[in-house]
Amino acid sequence: MKFYLRKIGFYLVALFAALTLNFAIPRMMPGDPVAAVLNRLASRGGTVAPETRAAVTAMLGQDGGNIIQQYIDYLKNIFTGNWGVSVLYFPNQVTTSIASALPWTIALVGTTTVISFFIQQALGIWAGWRHGGVFDNIVSPVATVLQSVPYFWLALIFIWLFARILHWFPQAGGYNYREVVPGPTLDFFLSALEYAALPALTILISSLGMGVVGMRNMMVSTLSEDYIVTAEAKGLSPRRVMMCYAARNAVLPSISGFGTSIGAVVGGSLLTEQVFSYPGVGQMLLQAVQSNDYALMQGIFLIITVTVLVVNLIIDLLYGIIDPRTRQQN
């Protein structure tokens, strides 16, 4: 129990630090969100009276007060669900704006990350089991190269090859808005699947490198353990030795590594969304930065931070169940 309480306490402290940074970073950026809203109102023919300025200032949470009071109000609003009004999507609430883009990112990044993890383990297990063979000599160098390839570079290559040259997939967007109406229909699902193919392929291939190499190296290290030699001496089948003895123990560090790498995967995925103009959180974050939309930036940062922390917390707790030795060491 002490192990789990320590882990939960650690992540609560990390969450508090993340919330503090989430409050501070947008306020260090140049620009005035109130002026951005007023300029947008003026461009639409609206009258910018002093009363209007005062109302917009209060609505965006910029109505004075020292930084400590702003921080206290910020924490209160975070936990009450009042995340403010978006400048970019004025007068919509930040929660409403994020809710419209979040399902796209969850469907793309969540599904692709899970699929990528299982492919990493399968390739790494087989390459480690057959280390020094033809499969290992092909997969390991390719995976090593993929570790150094940026997400956006691979995305641009795929756009050039599959969208511009071969015309297999659409170049950008989330669905064919000219022919399909968003809704729970088969046509919309197929259109969204077609437009998500290239971004998903980019994330899938870019995230393979580190996991494959790590799993392969752990598999090679595990094969030299005494219990592997004992299992082989007992006459167990190679398949059973590989899956029940070698892979079962080699996969443990990969599970822990998945939690530490999830932040990089999410960051690369958000960049991929921007390259493909995919209507997810990454594209919305870029637009929020360009519009000095502090409230929307804070909301997106909060969603990303909490997601990464929760995933890491779940993995750490599960790791304590899978490998009881970690509980004894802590």
Task: Tell me what the mean pLDDT of segment 51-62 comes to.
Answer: 60
pLDDT value at residue 112: 85
Query: Which helix (DSSP H) or strand (DSSP E) does residue 137 occupy?
Result: helix 134-147
Instruction: For 159-172, give one letter per residue: b (16+ CB within 10 A) or e.
Output: beebbeeeeebbee
143 contacts 209 by C-beta, under 8 angstroms: yes
Q: Give a yes or no: residue 89 inside a domain.
A: no
CB neighbour list of residue 282: distance below 8 Å, 6 or more residues apart: 105, 269, 270, 271, 272, 273, 274
**63 vs 322, higher pLDDT:** 322
User: What is the spatial distance between Cα 294 and Cα 33, in angstroms, rounded to a whole number?
Assistant: 7
195: phi then psi, degrees, rounded to nearest 5: -75, -25
- The residue out of 26, 56, 80 marking a domain boundary is 80
Q: Give a yes or no: residue 85 inside a domain.
A: no
pLDDT digit string, tens, across residues 200-259 = 888 888 878 777 888 888 888 888 888 888 888 888 888 888 888 888 888 877 777 776
Question: Whole-model pTM?
Answer: 0.75
Do residues 73 and 103 share a domain? no
Do residues 111 and 167 share a domain? yes
Do residues 146 and 248 share a domain? yes
- The residue out of 80, 105, 138 marking a domain boundary is 80
pLDDT value at residue 95: 86
Do residues 321 and 184 share a domain? yes
CATH number at residue 115: 1.10.3720.10
pLDDT value at residue 193: 86
Structural domain containing residue 308: 94-329
pLDDT digit string, tens, across residues 17-40 = 888 887 777 667 666 666 766 676
Do residues 111 and 73 share a domain? no
Q: Give a yes or no: residue 86 inside a domain.
A: no
Do residues 130 and 278 share a domain? yes
pLDDT level of residue 60 (50, 70, 90 thresholds): low
DSSP track, 223-249: TTSHHHHHHHHTT--HHHIIIIIIIHH
Q: Give a yes or no: residue 88 inside a domain.
A: no
Helix axes 33-43, 50-59, angle to 10 degrees: 130
pLDDT digit string, tens, across residues 94-104 = 888 888 888 88
Q: How many CB atoms lie within 10 A of CB 79?
A: 8
- The residue out of 80, 109, 137 marking a domain boundary is 80
Do residues 103 and 67 share a domain? no
Residue 61 pLDDT greater than 60, yes or no = no
pLDDT value at residue 298: 80
pLDDT level of residue 307 (50, 70, 90 thresholds): confident
pLDDT digit string, tens, across residues 126-162 = 888 888 888 888 888 888 888 788 878 888 888 888 8
Do residues 158 and 248 share a domain? yes
**268 vs 102, higher pLDDT:** 102
Q: Could you tell me the two tokens for 39?
A: 């300029």
Q: Give a yes or no: residue 300 inside a domain.
A: yes
Q: In terms of Cα–Cα distance, which of 213, 212, 211, 201 is closest to 151? A: 201
pLDDT value at residue 32: 64
Q: Could you tell me the two tokens for 40?
A: 């947008």
pLDDT value at residue 26: 64
Do residues 246 and 290 share a domain? yes
Do residues 195 and 141 share a domain? yes
User: What is the spatial distance between Cα 265 and Cα 112, in angstroms, rounded to a whole number?
Assistant: 10
pLDDT digit string, tens, across residues 161-212 = 888 888 888 888 887 877 777 777 888 888 888 888 888 888 888 878 777 8
CB neighbour list of residue 247: distance below 8 Å, 6 or more residues apart: 121, 125, 129, 219
pLDDT level of residue 330 (50, 70, 90 thresholds): low
Residue 46 pLDDT greater than 60, yes or no = no
User: Which amino acid is residue 94, in one-letter code?
Assistant: V
Do residues 73 and 101 share a domain? no
End-to-end CA distance of the chain: 11
Q: Give a yes or no: residue 101 inside a domain.
A: yes
pLDDT value at residue 65: 59
3 contacts 326 by C-beta, under 8 angstroms: yes
Q: Enumerate the β-bridge partners of residue 85.
A: 93
